Amino acid sequence: MRAKDLVVGESYRHKDTPSYAWARVVELLPPKRGDNPYNRIIVKCEWSVEKNDGFGLIKYFKPADLIAEV
């Protein structure tokens, strides 16, 4: 998936584990700005086992790592 296709607040799956856990997009971080030290866009996500959980771990992914629900 490309960064422009991601919607803040929507939940996606990780391409390596498409049937386990959800990544809810919190923020798209532009390259070399703020918390992003990399030369590419990264996605700040809330990672949880259930789609509608009220909490989760904060993880960072490349946009290409996220896929729509299978």
Number of domains in the chain: 1
Over residues 26-65, the pLDDT tens digits come to 999 999 998 899 999 999 999 999 988 888 899 999 999 9
Instruction: Check which CATH number belongs to the domain holding 51 and give it.
Output: 2.30.30
- Amino acid at position 26, single letter: V
pLDDT at position 37 is: 94
d(CA 68, CA 55): 20
pLDDT at position 51 is: 87
Average pLDDT, integer, range 13-27: 94
Q: Would you say residue 10 has pLDDT above 90?
A: yes
| pTM for this prediction | 0.89
Q: Would you say residue 70 has pLDDT above 80?
A: no
Looking at residue 38, the DSSP 8-state letter turns out to be S
3-class DSSP state of 31: coil
Q: 42 lies in which domain range?
A: 3-67
